[in-house]
Each structure stands twice: as structure tokens, then as C-alpha cells.
Amino acid sequence: MTKNAIVLGAGIVGVSTAIHLQRRGWQVTLIDRKEPGNETSFGNAGLIQREGVMPYGFPQQLSLLLRYALNNRIDAHYHLKALPSQLAFLARYWWNSNPKRHEMITKAYAPLIENSITEHKDLIEASHAEALIRRDGWMKIFRTEAKRDEAFEEAALWKDQFGVSYESLNSADIARLEPNITGNFVGGLRWIDPWSVLDPHALTRAYRTYFESLGGRFVTGDAASLGQAGSGWKIMTAEGSLEADDAVMALGPWAAVATRRLGYSFPLGVKRGYHMHYGVQGNAVLNNWTLDSERGYFLAPMNRGVRLTTGAEFATLDAPKTPVQLDRAEAVARTIFPLGERLDPEPWMGARPCTPDMMPIIGKAPRHQGLWFAFGHAHHGLTLGPVTGRVLAELMSGETPFINISAYSPSRFNP
């Protein structure tokens, strides 16, 4: 007998999960209040980060914390009014970022990252989305020798422990690779293994089309209406009430609210981020996805123009946009690259769902039959969408997941 499932949330994680369930013979309905890929998955640096084995930790050095406290940086910004509600999350995040604990977390996190490229490759080929992908890595460039040398040392460690590949760059290499970038950069580091995406939104749409070609369907609906129906689940959609044996919550930053209605308490924090697309002046070309490392912004040559992305903004999920980081980043970026006019009518803003131990929540709901969770991927949602979808579909189908996912269990927060 065919089992059926509803997957709530049509970002990259939800769409990937829906594909892997449909492939295994489930009848899947993908549900979101918006079209697939229109929320968090819409805006990011467009990287499938095979090198990202170490999750982003909370700064430990007092001197750096004091600099962040001034609230004038590109890589981090905070709303003072939001801090009281986020202190508990930030305290746990800081505690887990202690070097010893962070090292343990990295080892548990690495298997997801290590399989990110191969799992995307599967879906990219199946959805005929090769034209959206580049396979030439990305680079970070450094203004000081101290930061450069620190990055080289870290890269060598990651290569030894996790098999990631990189290339050290000097200032002449940067000039050769990016003749239109100017400035006193003392060197750089090019990660070789990652892939980049020319249009992340288009990639999610391509995956959605492939999902529908397998027999799945998408309907609009609101996760707030999810409830139990006998031994299964029901939800109201634009097509009326829908029932299924199982339900997957892949709701990104909205997961904390949706799961709270069912009696769960996940310490899910939010890191908001912004992007804007730009034209270029004259015949300038940006060849590589490039991080200005010490300033904390990204320049990415995408189909819609050069995308400039900011770091993290700590604010409540529903707070109004405050794209001050974008303005700061643009001012600096224009000093190193000839950006042209803004191409978007307003800055895009999205929210990354983050756990205090920096690992996603993947697995069965501890206190409900037929309910499954897949959220909390922080900065690596795009990277980890397909591998998350595969391991969760394997678990739901009674298979042994191809990697050990016990470290990501929902029960670590809700026994």
C-alpha cells in the first residue's frame, strides 16, 4: 500500500525531501504559503560549500566581542531591542563555540558537508539544471598577512582532517584571476571543491519541476493549520482539507513557532541576511565568487548581476528590514570593484534558522507518530538540502540512513 506524506516548507530542504520520498514510492504533497524557493532559499551566496566542515561559531575573544558590540560592522549587526529575547540562545551558542566543544561538533557535522556535492549532483543531473552550476570553487582575499596566514593554517588542517582541497594565492594570483579587483590584498585562498549556483531560486524551481515529474504535487497552504487526524495528519490547503500518513516540517526559521503549537520547544535562533544585485561599470567582469574576508561581505557573479551579500543580523524574525549592513558593504565593495547601479527595487532580506549547537535538526518527532523534522541548517541550507532530504527519506522509509544522523536528532532538545 502506498504511503502518503505532506512536506511543509518548499525551500531547498523541503523540495529535496519531497523528491527523495517520491522516489521511494511515497505519494507526496509539497505545501507552502508561497511558491517554492521564495523565502530563505531565495537569497544566499549561491555556494554548495563542500569546504564548510566547520560551522560558524560565536566569537570567543573578548577584543572581538567588544568590536562587535559597537554595532558598526558588515559581518554582524544586532537590534538592541531583540537582545533580551535572544540572550538564552546566544549564551548557549557562545558556550558551544568553545574550541573543544566546537571541535566535537565539527566532527559530527562533517558527514553532512562531505556528501553535499554528490547529493546535489544527483538532483542537478536529474532536473537538468547543469546550466545553473559552476564547478570552479570560490575564493577569499585578505588585507593583512596575519589573517592570510591564519586562513592558510586552518585550510591545511581541514585538508588533512576532512579532505578538502585548496590553493594558496599571492597578490599576483589575485590580479590574474580578478583583473578588475583593486586594493592592497596580500593574498588569498581558493577553495577548489565547492560548486556555485548562478541562480539559487532557479535551482529550487528546477528541483520542484523534477519532483512534479515524479508524480508529486505542490499546493499552497499554511502550516498553522496542521493537526492530527486519527493516526495521521491533516492540513487546510487552497484545494481544501488534505490528510496524509506522515508530515515533515521543513519550515526553516518558522519551525520554532510551528513546532511549539505541538508542544515542542526548540531553541531556534535567527540570523537575518541581505542581498542586492548590481550591474558593472564599463566592461568590468567578476570571475569568481569572492569574499572580502576581513570586511565580511561576498561578491558573486550571478545571472541577475553581481550579487552582494551581507553577514548576519541578529533581530526578531518579523522585525522590519534594516539593511545598514548592505549599505556598509556596498561602500567598501565599490572601492575594490567597479559596481554599477542597483538592479533590485529594494534589498532582499531572509532569515537563517540556527541552533545553539550549530547542527540541524533532522529526524522523527519524539512525541508524535508520523511527524518528522528537517530544519535549523543556519548558513548551509542550500548546501545541505539534498543530503538532508535523502537521509530523512531513508529514515522515514525504514532504511538505514547512509550516514550516521544521530547527532542531529530532535531529541537532543526535546527528550
- Give the C-alpha separation, 328 to 333, whole Å: 9
Among residues 272, 291, 279, 276, which one has the least CA distance to residue 326? 276
Q: Residue 214 corresponds to which cell in the numbers above?
A: 515524479
* 122 alpha-carbon distance from chain centroid: 19
The answer, as to whether pTM is greater than 0.95, is: yes
- pLDDT attached to residue 415: 84
Summarize pLDDT for 372-403 with one digit per residue, the tens: 999 999 999 999 999 999 999 999 999 999 99
Residue with cell 522590519: 320
Summarize pLDDT for 150-197 with one digit per residue, the tens: 999 999 999 999 999 999 999 999 999 999 999 999 999 999 999 999
| Cβ-based neighbour number of residue 286 at 10 Å | 21
196 membership: H or E segment, kind and range: strand 195-197
**Residues facing residue 353 across a β-bridge:** 270
286: pLDDT strictly greater than 90: yes
- pLDDT attached to residue 95: 96
Complete domains list, the chain, with CATH? 4-42+201-266+356-412 (3.50.50.60), 57-98+129-194+268-354 (3.30.9.10)
Buried b (16+ CB within 10 A) or exposed e, 71-88: eebbbbbbbeebeeebee
Summarize pLDDT for 24-59 with one digit per residue, the tens: 999 999 999 999 988 888 998 999 999 999 999 998
